[in-house]
Amino acid sequence: MLESMLNGLLLVFQWPAIGYLMLGILIGMWMGAVPGLGGIIGLVLLLPFTFEMDAVPAFALLLGMYAVTSTSDTIASVMLGIPGTSASQATVLDGYPLAKKGQAARAFGAAFTVSAFGGVVGALIMAASLPILLPMILAFGVPEFFFLAVLGLTMVGALAGGSILKGLTVAALGLLLTTIGYAASTGIPRYTFENDYLLESLPIIPVVLGLFALPELLEMAVRNTSIARIEASDAKDATLMAGVRDVLKHWWLTVRCALLGTYIGMLPGLGVSIVDWIAYGHAVQSAKDKTLFGQGDIRGVIAPEAANNATKAGALIPMIAFGIPGSLGTAILLGALVIKGLRPGPEMLIDHIELTFSMVWDIVIANLVAAGLLMIWSKQVAKVSFLPGHLLVPGVAVFVLMGAWLTSAALGDWISCIAFGFLGYWMKQGGWPRPPLILAIVLGKLMEDNLQLSTQIYEGYSWITGRPIVLVIIALVVLTLILAVKGVIKSNNTPKEEDAVVAGEGSGKNPILSLPLALLFLGIFVAAPIGAQGWEPEAQQFPLVVSYTAMILLVLIIFTDFKEVLQSVREASGLGAAVSASFEKADFGRSTSFIAYLIGILAASIVIGQFIALPAFVAIYLWRWGHYNWKICLSYAAVSWAFIYGFYDQIMHLFFYPSLLFG
């Protein structure tokens, strides 16, 4: 075994494998850092270039790119509050608040250090575990996968915000949204409203970018604030090395989360989606002092980043050993194996063991190199957090809209992005947590499929009480809820902790905005069963269970919000004064103006095309909102046009919308 590991290492360092590995690392760092791209698109783009290559350099290129996207995606999560990929959702909760405090460099130092550690640990555990993991993986069937998804949603719903009821309701909304499109069990379209765009379900990338990115851009635009809310001179102690010292201080948390990420990553279909939330939940529940989580606790960055990098290696185990792809990324890598004439299974562990170990070393080296390079560059990236908001908003808006356009190159992508941007702004102002919605959209299809398979295979619901692993997971779900309720009660009874909670995701207090949103959600969940009438029972099952559960939660939320609205009206001495104060607190007037600008981009793209509409938005925004001179406005717009044309058109070869005037 040791000889095979060394031979695998030598294969990686032979030319041209090492050259392709370094190229893959550079491409992966870019793919992870740019919102909307990520490792999947990178694999799709690079796969055709590997057809004529030997196996070792081919996988050096692919794995070098794929392994580091979970490291560089931290840049968007920390700097913009946007999950760079699905594996960095939990990082947003504390990474972005750290950037607001002027501590982006500290967050980067901690994140890149644990990312390297997690990637290396995951790869080494993968190498050691390959021969012995078959019983463990086979012990998990569809019932276990269903309840693992329930556990992930429970953790994010209970931990992301001050209201557990709101967190679970938002998760239910996400699950309901996943029922849009063709039902897998029957093939009938659900909730499509005769719109072809919705037949293939609601795309997640425009939803994520709209829900997280646009509200943050809106806040910077309206208040003209930098990402950091302090001066650069006040953040001298928040350095990269401070983040490294944080990792050394919390070394045991880092080790636990890396192990957690590796073994959860082995579970096909679920690992990548829930691992960061399970790691984050573990960090919160195992901490003695929980008051800073959600408002800039470095442990909230360390835990998910250590876990999500370890997941990449863990996900390769079922693919190599059993031919079971655990995610879309590993499915593409499985296709690359087949193209090279390799067969997953015992053949990879006996006849091609040196190639298998070269893949392990690809992941180890990629994580170490990427972490080192990002450490060097991140000091300069962190300085961006102190730039004026009006300089950042138009450029990031172009990235966000083009990232959304990558999904299907349809106007529906931009409509979804802008609509969920408005919803995200409303949720943020009203105190509704946003992360549960995204995780539910990621897991919804898997949950519905596993629920229906479980009831069909076991002819009912006996699987809930008849499988030991299911019972263990149910116990963890109950324990998570109990600990979350206990934490909320404690925070409400402790003045010091109550002040701390307000800063977290979904913990804002604005009942006059929260109550209408609760009523809107109730209307959606009431309409869903009505719209499901006439469907076959298999197609009705999941949306009905989700809707009825959410209705119960919403009745309790509306009752609580209504009492808080009455209190606000009494304090303001009238309904009109209370509404005015609520809108002023949310900067409602200028916020709707910014949303109107985004709608204007959409309308202009239809008439004159995206090549003109996006740079025009950049110039007009800088002129009207930033009050910059025409030289800066036109120069910024020209650079934006060059980037759209050079990268998205010439390199990505995207289809752009055929405008009415210019085609």
pLDDT tens digits for range 298-315: 888 888 888 887 777 777
pLDDT tens digits for range 623-656: 988 888 999 999 999 999 999 999 888 887 888 9
* Closest to 485 in 3D by CA, of 147, 113, 159, 149: 159
* Closest to 393 in 3D by CA, of 622, 176, 589: 622
The reported pLDDT for the residue numbered 501 is: 34
* Closest to 506 in 3D by CA, of 77, 170, 75, 101: 170
Indicate the pLDDT class of residue 327, thresholds 50, 70 and 90.
low
The reported pLDDT for the residue numbered 599 is: 92
Q: What is the DSSP letter of 655?
A: P
* Closest to 240 in 3D by CA, of 104, 96, 367, 116: 104
Q: Please, are residues 281 and 155 in contact by the beta-carbon 8 Å criterion?
A: yes
The reported pLDDT for the residue numbered 96 is: 83
Q: How far is Cα 109 from Cα 243, in angstroms, rounded to an integer?
A: 4
> Has residue 205 got a pLDDT over 90?
no
Min mean pLDDT across 13-27, 176-190, 208-222, 345-359 is at 345-359
pLDDT tens digits for range 591-606: 888 899 999 999 999 9
Owner of token pair 């119960």: 552
Residue type at 208 in one-letter notation: V
> Has residue 494 got a pLDDT over 70?
no
More confidently predicted of 86 and 369: 369
Which of the residue ranges 180-189, 360-369, 550-559 has the most confident prediction, judged by mean pLDDT? 550-559
Which of the residue ranges 164-168, 434-438, 527-531 has the most confident prediction, judged by mean pLDDT? 527-531
| Mean pLDDT of all residues belonging to the chain | 81
Percentage of residues in the chain having pLDDT higher than 90: 13
Q: Please, are residues 242 and 109 in contact by the beta-carbon 8 Å criterion?
A: yes
The reported pLDDT for the residue numbered 56 is: 86
Which of the residue ranges 18-22, 196-200, 338-342, 520-524 has the most confident prediction, judged by mean pLDDT? 520-524
The reported pLDDT for the residue numbered 519 is: 94
Show me where the domains of the chain are located. Answer: 2-509, 510-572, 588-651
Neighbours of 472 (CB within 10 A): 11
Q: Please, are residues 63 and 102 in contact by the beta-carbon 8 Å criterion?
A: no
Mean pLDDT of 329-341: 77
Joined together, the tokens standing for residue 660 give 């009415």
Indicate the pLDDT class of residue 496, thresholds 50, 70 and 90.
very low
More confidently predicted of 25 and 86: 25
> Has residue 473 got a pLDDT over 50?
yes
Q: Please, are residues 312 and 70 in contact by the beta-carbon 8 Å criterion?
A: yes
Q: How far is Cα 660 from Cα 569, in angstroms, rounded to an integer?
A: 50
Phi and psi torsions of 224, nearest 5°: 50, 50
Owner of token pair 């919403």: 554
Mean pLDDT of 396-414: 87
> Has residue 489 got a pLDDT over 80?
no
> Has residue 372 got a pLDDT over 70?
yes
Q: Please, are residues 292 and 97 in contact by the beta-carbon 8 Å criterion?
A: no
pLDDT tens digits for range 565-594: 898 888 888 888 888 888 888 788 888 888
The reported pLDDT for the residue numbered 498 is: 38
Indicate the pLDDT class of residue 499, thresholds 50, 70 and 90.
very low
Q: Please give the angle made by the CA atoms of 112, 114 and 115, to the nearest 5 degrees.
A: 60
The reported pLDDT for the residue numbered 237 is: 58
The reported pLDDT for the residue numbered 601 is: 92
Joined together, the tokens standing for residue 587 give 């900067």
The reported pLDDT for the residue numbered 497 is: 41
pLDDT tens digits for range 145-203: 788 778 777 777 666 556 778 888 998 999 999 899 888 777 788 888 888 888 888 88
The reported pLDDT for the residue numbered 293 is: 78
> Has residue 418 got a pLDDT over 90?
yes
Indicate the pLDDT class of residue 84, thresholds 50, 70 and 90.
low
Q: Please, are residues 283 and 253 in contact by the beta-carbon 8 Å criterion?
A: yes
Q: How far is Cα 352 from Cα 340, in angstroms, rounded to an integer?
A: 12
Three-state secondary structure readout of 394-462: HHHHHHHHHHHHCCCCCHHHHHHHHHHHHHHHHHHHHCCCCHHHHHHHHHHHHHHHHHHHHHHHCCCCC
Q: What is the DSSP letter of 234?
A: G
More confidently predicted of 218 and 464: 218
The reported pLDDT for the residue numbered 503 is: 44
More confidently predicted of 507 and 374: 374
Neighbours of 658 (CB within 10 A): 9
More confidently predicted of 349 and 254: 254
More confidently predicted of 507 and 123: 123
Q: Please, are residues 572 and 626 in contact by the beta-carbon 8 Å criterion?
A: no
> Has residue 491 got a pLDDT over 60?
no
Q: How far is Cα 103 from Cα 246, in angstroms, rounded to an integer?
A: 13
Indicate the pLDDT class of residue 396, thresholds 50, 70 and 90.
confident
> Has residue 506 got a pLDDT over 70?
no
